[in-house]
Amino acid sequence: MSADNAILLAICVPLATALGIQLAGRVSDNLREAVTLTGAASLAWVVWGMLPSLFEGARPALTVSELLPGVSIAFEVEPLGMLFAALASGLWIVNSVYSIGYMRGNREKKQTRFYTCFALALGATMGIAFAGNLVTLFLCYELLTLSTYPLVSHKGDEATVRSARVYLGILLCTSIGLLLPAIIWTYHVTGNGDFTVGGILAGKIAGADVGLLLALFVFGIGKAAVMPVHRWLPAAMVAPTPVSALLHAVAVVKAGVFSVTKIIVYIFGVDFLFATPSAGWLLYAAAFTIIAASLVALRQQNLKRLLAYSTVAQLSYVVMAAAVLKPLAEIGAAIHMVAHAFGKITLFFAAGAIYTAARKTELHQLRGIGRRMPWTTAAFTIGGLSMIGVPPTGGFVSKWYILAGAFQADNLLAIFTIIASTVLNAAYFLPIIFMAWFADEQPGGKEHGEAPPLMVLALACTALLTLGFFFFNGPVIELEKQLVQGMLQ
């Protein structure tokens, strides 16, 4: 199998899986779940199979169609995209296992539609990861938004549909209203929008226009949830937990920050942005989002909403790291996507497990739950520690790199923000963890034990990954060093 075909395969496998799920869903539930798991496994096999050649420096590419002169649908695999694809495809397997437990445990309706849309969303995610130019990125970005709408509105009642409409409205409006003009502007001045090492905009655009274009991109990519376009993320929490876990902790939100990073690195060019004062606002916007979202998270009473605001803050870590515009920080941005993904998916898995086993969604209900659900609570603890950045969890590694990058740039604002937000993270995660393990349970609660075994299996896996990433992060960093090759010397 050539690497070029692997790209096509990576996008087609989820689509074929979606079709298979539709058909299998009419036969039996077990067959449908088997199709999902097979699809997830084969996608991971295809995507991970591309890794070795990437390490050797290969850049597989594939052009599907040229829409207009210079504007084409094309895919190219590069380190950042590879990392994102490997992450999403790997976690899809774990998430599928978890989904089966969750959907059956809660006797959800319309499960076939759920799994179908999930597979479609993964296909779109692969497209985003491997997009070779801005138009392809935009195409897959919109497909991801549209395919996740049925997932968010899964419950189907009035309040859910209203929230789902907020989700869709914000994401589509920002992408069409801001991102599309930004993309067309880029094509207009450069003649193409291919992701090129070193960027393509240098010398084509100058002065305040750079800051404006950057703003169009950053706010146009609503999925990156830089304030004030973060509102969709808490709104999306009406979705079933597996959706929140994989999509709103990994695929969708990471697609956002991934796109922002990719545009900064491959469209603007790090050096060009660093030399342009008008682009400096991004750092402030990201820093503000980190602090503000953390403060909002402090005041949340609902577990999933708290996790949502924590996600908003963590996403801006990535944006801020990218905006520091130093090699180590760019690496930090890339690995923070991974570290946060492991940690946050664990947290969401734990939240879902608690909901399935105990129907508990609010923070104050979690008192003493550690004794009834030790596995889940342990995983939650690991995830929470990773969010704070305590060793030995993955969160520590990425924070280290981001801090190192900030020092490289002597960027006091970034350093201060990281320290302040670490304190804030601790302030909202540690009380929960403490309460769950050591507080006395409120009397009169119903009896319950641990969540269904499939779910526990999944969340144990991701918790182990969170820990493991602290120790075994070499290959990831090696891969991402290629991202900033030219800059390291």
Partner 1 sequence: MQIDVMDLTPHLPALQVIVPMLCAPLILLLKPRGLAWAGATAAALLSFAIALNMALAVNTGAYFNYDMGGWEAPYGIELSVGAFGALVLLIVTGAGAAAMLAARPSVDSQIEAERQPLFYSAWLLALAGLAGIVVSADAFNIFVFMEISSLASYVLIAGGPDRRALPAVFKYLIMGTIGATFYLIGIGLVYMMTGTLNLADMEARIGDVTDINPILVAAGFITIGLALKAAVFPLHVWLPNAYTHSPHIVTVFLAACATKVAIYVLVRFDFFVFQDNLENHDLQFSLFLMPLALLGILMASAVAMFEGHIKRLLAMSSVAQIGYIILGASFVSEAGLTASAAHMFNHALAKGGLFLAIAGLACHYRDLRLEQLGGAARSMPWTAAAMVICGFSLVGIPGTAGFISKWLLIDAAMDEGRFAWLLVAIIIASSLMALAYVWRIIETLYFKPPVVAEAPAEAPLQLLLVTWLVALANIGFGLFPQFPLALSSAAAQLLLGRAS
Minimum distance, C-beta of residue 215 to partner 1, in the bound complex (Å): 14
Instruction: Give 115 or 149: the residue with its C-beta nearer to partner 1.
Output: 149
Minimum distance, C-beta of residue 2 to partner 1, in the bound complex (Å): 22
Q: Within 13 A of 171's CA, how many CA atoms are on the CB side?
A: 29
Minimum distance, C-beta of residue 210 to partner 1, in the bound complex (Å): 16
Instruction: Give 141 or 349: the residue with its C-beta nearer to partner 1.
Output: 141
- Dist CA 150 CA 112 (whole Å): 12
Instruction: Give 191 or 228: the residue with its C-beta nearer to partner 1.
Output: 191
Minimum distance, C-beta of residue 178 to partner 1, in the bound complex (Å): 8
Contact 225, 256 (CB under 8 A): yes
Q: Phi-psi category of 369—alpha, beta or left, where left has phi over 0 and alpha has psi -120 to 50?
A: alpha
Minimum distance, C-beta of residue 23 to partner 1, in the bound complex (Å): 14
**170-186 exposure pattern, b = at least 16 Cβ within 10 A, e = fewer:** bbbebbeebbbebbebb
In DSSP terms, 74 is beta-bridged to: 63
Residue written as tokens 């450069």? 190
Instruction: Give 66 or 478: the residue with its C-beta nearer to partner 1.
Output: 66
Instruction: Give 155 or 367: the residue with its C-beta nearer to partner 1.
Output: 155
Minimum distance, C-beta of residue 162 to partner 1, in the bound complex (Å): 11
Minimum distance, C-beta of residue 416 to partner 1, in the bound complex (Å): 36
Instruction: Give 181 or 280: the residue with its C-beta nearer to partner 1.
Output: 181
Minimum distance, C-beta of residue 196 to partner 1, in the bound complex (Å): 20
Contact 32, 21 (CB under 8 A): yes
Instruction: Give 70 or 392: the residue with its C-beta nearer to partner 1.
Output: 70
Contact 145, 99 (CB under 8 A): no
Instruction: Give 173 or 488: the residue with its C-beta nearer to partner 1.
Output: 173
Q: Which residues bind partner 1 (CB under 8 A)?
A: 64-68, 71, 73, 135, 138-139, 142-143, 146, 153, 156, 161, 165, 168, 172-173, 176-177, 180-181, 184-185, 187-188
